[in-house]
Chain A
C-alpha cells in the first residue's frame, strides 16, 4: 500500500478554523431573514410556521441560556455545535465500522 501521510495535524487545524469561525465570526452574521424566510414573507405563507417544539431548550436559536451578552452567547453556542457535530459525525462512522467488522471480520493483515 502506498505510504500515506498522517491526518492528525490537518484535522486539528480544521477544527481550530471551524471553532474560530463559530466563536468569533458567527456573532457578526446577518440576522436578516434568510432566503426561504424572505420568500415566505413576500409570498404570504410565513404565518403558517409553528413555534419550534424545542424552542425552550438551553441552546435554542444559537444562544446559551443564562449568558446574556448576545455575541458571547452566540459564539459559545457555536463552539458547542462544532464539538457536537464533530463527535456525532465521527461517531456515526465509528458505529458503521463496528457493525461492519462484526458482520464480516476483516482479513488477517498481510505479512510479507
Chain B
C-alpha cells in the first residue's frame, strides 16, 4: 500500500515528512540506549527479509493483491525501536531505488506502513501475551493476531490522511469502508507470514526473539544456592 505522490496533498505530505523525521529521531535515541553489537547484523537481516517479503504480492480477492507490511514482525523480532528503523530503511530504499512509494509521500509511508504496524502491532502483541500462556505458541499466536490488527490500524491511518489532505474528491466514508474491507483480507496474509516467521525463529533461536525474552533461560537472574546458606 505504498502511497504515490499526488494521493495526499503537498501540505499534508510535508507535515507527514516532519512527523516521520521526528519519529525516526526518537527511534534512534531509544535504540541507542539499548544497542548491543549483535543487534547490528540482526537489524540488517530484518530490513532485508521484510524487503524480500514485501515483493511477494499475494492475491486477496479477484483483481486485487496484497503484500506484507511487516512492522509487527519486526517489532516482535528486534523490538519496536530497532524494528521501526528497519522499516524506515526499507521504505527509503523502495522509494529512492525502486521508485515504489512517492518521494513526497515517503514520510507518510514511513508512518503508515512502518510506525503504525510496529507500534499498534507491538502494543496488541504485549496485551495478548499478558493474556495467553507464556509459551512459544502463545508468542506466535500473539504476533500473528497483532499483525492483523496492525494492518487494520494502517488502513485507518491512511483514511485519516485522506480525510486531512486527500485529493480526487472521494468521500472519506467510502475510502474508509473500502480500505478496512480489503485490508481485513490483506491482514490475513500478514498474520500468516508473521506467525510462520516468528514461529520459525522461535524454533531455531528463541534467544533472538525480542518479544519472547522472558522465555529464554539465559536471561534469568539466578541466585547461587550457597547464598541462602550464608
Contacts and interface: CB of A to CB of B under 8 A. Distances in A.
Contacts of A97: 32, 35, 37, 40
Contact of B51 (A45, A60, A85): A85
Contacts of B100: 52, 61-62
A86 B39 CA distance: 12
A57 to B, nearest CB: 6
Contacts, number: 232
Nearest to A80: B97
Contact of B158 (A36, A44, A60, A89): A36
A97 B85 CA distance: 14
Interface of A: 2-5, 7-8, 10-11, 14-15, 17-19, 21-22, 25-26, 29-36, 38-40, 42-50, 52-55, 57, 59-62, 74, 77-78, 80-94, 96-97, 99-100
A72 to B, nearest CB: 14
B14 to A, nearest CB: 15
B89 interface: yes
Given A29-B58, A34-B67, A53-B103, A82 B179 contact: no
A82 B6 contact: no
Given A34-B67, A35-B179, A45-B169, A85 B59 contact: no
A29 B55 contact: yes
Interface of B: 1-7, 28, 31-32, 35, 37-53, 55-60, 63-67, 82, 85-86, 89-90, 92-100, 102-103, 155, 158, 166-171, 174-175, 178-179, 182-183, 186, 204-205, 207-208, 218-219
A35 B186 contact: yes
Contact of A90 (B2, B40, B183): B40
Nearest to B40: A93
A30 B166 contact: no
Given A39-B179, A96-B28, A45 B158 contact: no
Nearest to A32: B65
Given A29-B67, A32-B64, A43-B178, 14 more contacts: A5-B207, A14-B48, A31-B57, A33-B64, A44-B170, A53-B99, A53-B102, A81-B98, A82-B52, A85-B89, A87-B44, A89-B45, A89-B85, A93-B31
Nearest to B33: A100
Contacts of B169: 44-45
A10 B204 contact: yes
B195 to A, nearest CB: 16
Contact of A89 (B37, B47, B60, B97): B47
Nearest to A6: B38
Nearest to A17: B49
Contacts of A82: 48, 51-52
Contacts of B43: 89-90, 92-93
Contacts of A90: 40-41, 43-44
